[in-house]
Structures are given as C-alpha cells and as structure tokens.
Chain A
Amino acid sequence: KNEVEQSPQNLTAQEGEFITINCSYSVGISALHWLQQHPGGGIVSLFMLSSGKKKHGRLIATINIQEKHSSLHITASHPRDSAVYICVISRPTGNQFYFGTGTSLTVIP
C-alpha cells in the first residue's frame, strides 16, 4: 500500500474553473509538500504545510492533520496551470520522503 494517495490521477478542466486535487496519507508526518512539474520536467515547490492553510496567488493548500488529508485548490484556472501536481510527505524522523503518483492537470482554453 502506498503511504500517499492522490486523486484524481488525471483532470481536465475548462479555463476559469475551480480545481481541487486531493492527497491522503496513512502515516504520521512532519510536513506535506505540494510540487508542480511542468511538461518540460522542471519542478517547483508550491507549498510546505504542517497545519492549516496557505495561499499563494490563485493557489490554496489546506491540510487536516487529524484526517491525514490535504487539498490543493486552483481558483480561476488557466492553461498555464497545466502540469503534474505531486503531493510529498516527510516523516517525523530520518528525513524520509514519500511521494504521491501525481495528478496530471490539463486546462483547456
């Protein structure tokens, strides 16, 4: 069983739609990251969360530690948001990281 589960695996949206990507995990964590990987392969770290909610521009990330769940929201989606979004957790000890399989998002103009 994978420690990190993401859904959906693939997502197609119309420009302007509100998008939600979900991440569930099964172990104790010290932090959760959301990464964005563009079609060219470059990776950007979007958020690191250990509690609550963070917002950068049109991106919002939330985490519920008790429910072991995080969501990444994109408001007013745009074609340039098309990318793979990856959820990563870090364990409290040993600096181990566990990766979700990613959500491939395509935003259609």
Chain B
Amino acid sequence: GAGVSQSPSNKVTEKGKDVELRCDPISGHTALYWYRQSLGQGLEFLIYFQGNSAPDKSGLPSDRFSAERTGGSVSTLTIQRTQQEDSAVYLCASSLAGSVDRGYEQYFGPGTRLTVT
C-alpha cells in the first residue's frame, strides 16, 4: 500500500519568505510526527499530532514554526520568515495510533529538502 508522502521533495526559497511543507500519512494512521535533520546533524523532533491535536509543541524551534493537521490526515508545517539556519531535511512519520509507548512503529516519508538562500 501507499506509504507516507511528502511534498515538495525539494524547496529552495529566499531568506524572509514563508514556506509550507506537506505530509500525507498512511491512511488510518492517527499519529503524525515532524522531525528535521540539519546538514551533518542528528534528527530533531519538532511536533507530534494525535488526530488533529498536538499535545506537545515544545520541539518547535521558534514561533516562526507552526503546524496543523486537518481531518486527522494531511499535515502542513509552515515556516514564516525563513532563515538560513532553517535549511534542513524535514521528515514526517506516521504511526497507527497513540504515542510511541503503545507499541506502534513509525513509518517515515522521504522528506523535504529545504534550502534557504
């Protein structure tokens, strides 16, 4: 079946512009996660959705970052007034239900490579 998809796969934007990244989780997966990986760095957790609500937003690096999820499916991650340090690969994952301690594996999308010039 279809996996997690993300769009666009690559995005180059000028500093100061807003960008919107999209994630389509696996159908039926109620949990959705956003991570980012900066060049040469490890994975950084950003935010987690259970259904349409985000119990924990503390991983978002600044108030320029926001995320929403509608209909318990598609999620968008928006970065306002982009900065060069926002350049990274943004990864989305989904899992069948609940938080990770309930035994559900996360399935990762291919990522969106964002470059801020």
Task: State whether the Cβ of A27 lies closer than 8 Å to any Cβ in chain B.
Answer: no
A95 adjacent to B111 (CB under 8 Å): no
Interface residues on A, range: 20 to 34
- Answer whether A41 and B43 are a contact pair too, CB < 8 Å, given A50-B101, A90-B100, A96-B58: no
List 22 contacting pairs A-B, 8 Å CB cutoff, sorted by A.
Answer: A30-B101, A31-B100, A33-B100, A33-B106, A41-B37, A41-B111, A42-B108, A42-B111, A43-B93, A45-B106, A48-B105, A50-B101, A50-B103, A90-B100, A96-B45, A96-B56, A96-B59, A97-B45, A99-B42, A99-B43, A99-B44, A102-B42
Rounded to whole angstroms, the CA-CA distance of A100 and B42 in the bound complex is: 7
In whole Å, how far is B6's beta carbon from the nearest beta carbon of chain A? 12
Query: How many A-B pairs with Cβ below 8 Å?
Result: 61
Beta-carbon contact of B107 and A101 below 8 Å = no
Q: Is the CB of B110 within 8 A of A42?
A: yes
Docked Cα-Cα span, A50 to B101, in Å, equals 7
